């Protein structure tokens, strides 16, 4: 099994977090999204403890809540001591609804609207992570109108060459995110920001990319950021107190993916940063990180019911499930690979090669191609592993398919944290005159 929270019961059913997924599917219906809450908590507390230990007090992980945003998730990660980042007013609203402490909320995004800025300011959030000059000006003016001084970080692009690691593509200079160091524009921006009323510049942010399995890209980005911070202290007399290194620790989706040890990797990044700061004779800033996927991905599993199994003579076999791109668009969007199990026959050999297809009117509505599972029959439950991140949060109602419920599993108990959408929900916004 791809992760330790996936096992097989005596009667051959796939278990997740120790629970029989076939029984859960019968209880709640399918498609069904399961979340192993114990594992989410374990991941969150690992980040919190490791960052405190290796980077010191004041350093903390923010949960990148775009990975899975719902009221329960903010409560869970909040109670484990994480801060959060939000990218929209909708995510901010959800966090506040969950009672998440506003001062531990960081507002991200490359284009915050005036409404976003107003909502963040009026909610007294901790920080905006400002992307560009237009945005800083908006925050400055609107905070000034309220007589506030709003703490901000600036998102910079360290200009990491994506060729050193193909997975890294958001930290390069040519990106819709942030302001580039290499072109001199970051320094110009900082010089401007330091003169603006209504805001307090607290430090810098960078994010190198996703699915990173070792410390090196973070160390490379940290080197560029720390060297730049030392330079800014010399040229502008400004010392940044915070360095936010973004998210991106990788997660194992299929057997060929590696594992990353969160605690160990944080230790290695910390050693590297401490040395670099010492070389510049500068104090180590407060370090923030923004894990999303590595908090919640392998805590998720989606269970479907097989509708039909169709073998096209001379071609291949299609297994049609009662969900698809509406609850998991990642294969359609990126060709992302997943591990699939026949949950009803998890003890049988996985020797039936097939393509798993959704039910939307799109031939691209697939969950996986060329995967091997125990030969399924109509009515079997099919489980897709590692669906906790960027599945539900990217789900849609295409073809007016209601979104599945999310059921959290904790200490042997199960509870609905997001209910299944109804057909009434499908027309809730329609005006019927
Ligand atoms: C997406 C994103 C993250 C989270 O990335 P993961 O790969 O899910 O850990 C963190 N910070 C920023 C700015 C992001 O865009």
CB 326 within 8 A of CB 403: yes
User: Is the pLDDT assigned to residue 166 strictly greater than 60?
Assistant: no
Give the residue, out of 107, 218, 290, 336, with the most ligand 1 atoms within 8 A of its beta carbon, to mutate for a pocket test. Answer: 290
Q: How far is the CA of 293 from the centre of ligand 1 (A)?
A: 8
Could you give the CA distance from residue 133 to residue 186 in angstroms, rounded to a whole number?
Answer: 10
pLDDT at 113: 96
Q: How far is the CA of 54 from the centre of ligand 1 (A)?
A: 21
Q: How far is the CA of 210 from the centre of ligand 1 (A)?
A: 7
**Structure confidence by residue, pLDDT tens digits, 42-70:** 999 999 999 999 999 999 999 999 999 99
Q: Which atom of ligand 1 is nearest to the CA of 211?
A: 7
pLDDT at 162: 47
Could you give the CA distance from residue 59 to residue 61 in angstroms, rounded to a whole number?
Answer: 7
Task: Give the rounded percent of residues in the chain with a pLDDT score beyond 70.
Answer: 97
Could you give the CA distance from residue 232 to residue 92 in angstroms, rounded to a whole number?
Answer: 32
CB 295 within 8 A of CB 260: no
Q: How far is the CA of 62 from the centre of ligand 1 (A)?
A: 10
Of the pLDDT bands very low, low, confident and very high (cuts 50, 70, 90), residue 177 is confident
What's the distance, CA 422 to chain centroid? 26
User: Is the pLDDT assigned to residue 165 strictly greater than 70?
Assistant: no
Could you give the CA distance from residue 6 to residue 387 in angstroms, rounded to a whole number?
Answer: 13
Whose C-alpha lies nearest to ligand 1, atom 2? 247
Q: Which atom of ligand 1 is nearest to the CA of 108?
A: 13
Q: Give the mean model confidence (pLDDT) for residues 259-264.
A: 96
Give the residue, out of 245, 247, 389, with the most ligand 1 atoms within 8 A of its beta carbon, to mutate for a pocket test. Answer: 247
Of the pLDDT bands very low, low, confident and very high (cuts 50, 70, 90), residue 175 is confident
Question: pTM for the full model?
Answer: 0.96
Of the pLDDT bands very low, low, confident and very high (cuts 50, 70, 90), residue 161 is low
Say which residue the tokens 């107190």 belong to: 241
Q: Which atom of ligand 1 is nearest to the CA of 390?
A: 8
Q: Which atom of ligand 1 is nearest to the CA of 249?
A: 9
Strand 127-130 to 340-342 pairing: unpaired
Of the pLDDT bands very low, low, confident and very high (cuts 50, 70, 90), residue 85 is very high
Q: How far is the CA of 310 from the centre of ligand 1 (A)?
A: 39
pLDDT at 11: 96
Q: Which atom of ligand 1 is nearest to the CA of 250?
A: 7
Whose C-alpha lies nearest to ligand 1, atom 15? 207
Q: Is residue 291 within a helix (H) or strand (E), and if so which, with residue range? A: none
Give which of 328, 433, 341 is closest to 33, Cα–Cα: 328
Pair of tokens at residue 115: 């409404």
Across the chain, mean pLDDT equals 96
Q: Give the mean model confidence (pLDDT) for residues 170-174.
A: 67
Give the residue, out of 87, 207, 289, 299, with the most ligand 1 atoms within 8 A of its beta carbon, to mutate for a pocket test. Answer: 207
User: Is the pLDDT assigned to residue 34 strictly greater than 60?
Assistant: yes
Helices (H), 100-200: 114-122, 133-145, 185-193
Question: What are residue 361's phi and psi, to 5 degrees?
Answer: -80, 65
Q: How far is the CA of 248 from the centre of ligand 1 (A)?
A: 6
Whose C-alpha lies nearest to ligand 1, atom 10? 247
Q: Give the mean model confidence (pLDDT) for residues 244-271.
A: 97
Question: Going by C-beta distance under 8 Å and a sequence separation of 6 or more, which residues neighbour residue 26?
Answer: none
Which residues have C-beta atoms less than 6 Å from ligand 1? 64, 66-67, 108, 207, 210, 246-249, 290-294, 389
pLDDT at 176: 82
Could you give the CA distance from residue 117 to residue 300 in angstroms, rounded to a whole number?
Answer: 33
Of the pLDDT bands very low, low, confident and very high (cuts 50, 70, 90), residue 213 is very high
Q: What is residue 366's three-state secondary structure?
A: strand
Q: How far is the CA of 73 from the centre of ligand 1 (A)?
A: 16
Question: Going by C-beta distance under 8 Å and a sequence separation of 6 or more, which residues neighbour residue 339?
Answer: 2, 253, 254, 255, 371, 384, 385, 386
**Structure confidence by residue, pLDDT tens digits, 391-429:** 999 999 999 999 999 999 999 999 999 999 999 999 999
User: Is the pLDDT assigned to residue 306 strictly greater than 60?
Assistant: yes
Q: Which atom of ligand 1 is nearest to the CA of 170?
A: 15
Question: Going by C-beta distance under 8 Å and a sequence separation of 6 or more, which residues neighbour residue 316?
Answer: 353, 354, 355, 370
Could you give the CA distance from residue 345 to residue 349 in angstroms, rounded to a whole number?
Answer: 9
Pair of tokens at residue 58: 């004041």
Angle at 368 between CA 419 and CA 350, to 5 degrees: 100
**Structure confidence by residue, pLDDT tens digits, 121-135:** 999 999 999 999 999
Q: Give the mean model confidence (pLDDT) for residues 348-371.
A: 97
**Structure confidence by residue, pLDDT tens digits, 183-212:** 999 999 999 999 999 999 999 999 988 999
Q: How far is the CA of 416 from the centre of ligand 1 (A)?
A: 26
Q: Where are the beta strands (DSSP E) in 158-285?
A: 179-180, 199-205, 242-244
**Structure confidence by residue, pLDDT tens digits, 97-109:** 999 999 999 999 9
Tell me which residues are annotated as active site: 361
Q: Give the mean model confidence (pLDDT) for residues 374-398.
A: 98
Of the pLDDT bands very low, low, confident and very high (cuts 50, 70, 90), residue 160 is confident
Q: Which atom of ligand 1 is nearest to the CA of 291?
A: 9
Q: How large is the greatest C-alpha to C-alpha distance in the chain, in angstroms?
A: 72
User: Is the pLDDT assigned to residue 167 strictly greater than 60?
Assistant: no
pLDDT at 169: 55
User: Is the pLDDT assigned to residue 170 strictly greater than 70?
Assistant: no
Give which of 302, 323, 314, 310 is closest to 399, Cα–Cα: 323
């Amino acid at each position: 099994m791809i992760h330790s929270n996936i096992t097989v019961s005596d009667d051959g059913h796939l278990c997740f977090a120790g629970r029989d997924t076939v029984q859960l599917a019968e209880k709640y219906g399918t498609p069904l999204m399961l979340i192993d809450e114990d594992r989410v908590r374990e991941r969150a507390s690992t980040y919190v403890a490791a960052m405190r230990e290796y980077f010191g007090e004041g350093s903390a992980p923010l949960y990148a809540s775009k990975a899975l945003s719902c009221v329960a998730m903010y409560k869970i990660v909040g109670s484990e001591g994480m801060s959060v980042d939000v990218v929209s007013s909708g995510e901010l609203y959800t966090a506040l609804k969950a009672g998440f402490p506003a001062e531990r909320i960081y507002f991200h995004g490359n284009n915050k609207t005036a409404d976003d800025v107003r909502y963040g300011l009026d909610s007294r959030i901790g920080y905006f992570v400002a992307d560009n000059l237009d945005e800083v000006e908006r925050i400055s003016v609107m905070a000034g109108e309220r007589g506030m001084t709003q703490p901000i970080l600036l998102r910079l692009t360290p200009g990491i060459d994506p060729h050193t690691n193909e997975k890294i593509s958001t930290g390069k200079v040519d990106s819709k995110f942030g302001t580039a160091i290499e072109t001199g524009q970051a320094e110009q921006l900082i010089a401007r920001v330091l003169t603006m009323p209504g805001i307090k510049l607290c430090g810098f942010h960078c994010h190198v990319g996703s699915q990173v399995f070792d410390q090196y890209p973070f160390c490379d980005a940290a080197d560029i950021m720390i060297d730049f911070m030392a330079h800014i202290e010399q040229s502008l007399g400004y010392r940044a107190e915070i360095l936010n290194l973004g998210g991106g620790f990788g997660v194992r989706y299929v057997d060929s993916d590696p594992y990353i040890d969160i605690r160990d990797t944080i230790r290695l990044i910390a050693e590297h940063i401490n040395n670099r700061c010492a070389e510049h004779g500068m104090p180590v800033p407060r370090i923030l990180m923004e894990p999303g996927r590595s908090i919640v991905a392998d805590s998720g599993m989606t269970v479907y019911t097989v509708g039909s199994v169709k073998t096209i003579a001379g071609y291949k076999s299609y297994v049609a499930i009662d969900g698809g791109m509406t609850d998991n668009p990642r294969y359609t969007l990126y060709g992302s690979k997943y591990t699939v199990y026949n949950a009803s026959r998890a003890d049988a050999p996985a020797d039936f090669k097939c393509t798993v297809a959704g039910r939307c009117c799109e031939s691209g509505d697939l969950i996986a191609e060329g995967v091997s599972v125990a030969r399924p029959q109509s009515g079997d439950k099919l489980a897709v592993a590692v669906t906790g991140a960027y599945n539900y949060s990217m789900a849609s109602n295409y073809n007016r398919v209601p979104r599945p419920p999310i059921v959290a599993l904790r200490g042997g108990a199960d509870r609905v944290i997001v209910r299944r959408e109804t057909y009434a929900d499908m027309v809730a916004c329609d005006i019927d005159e």
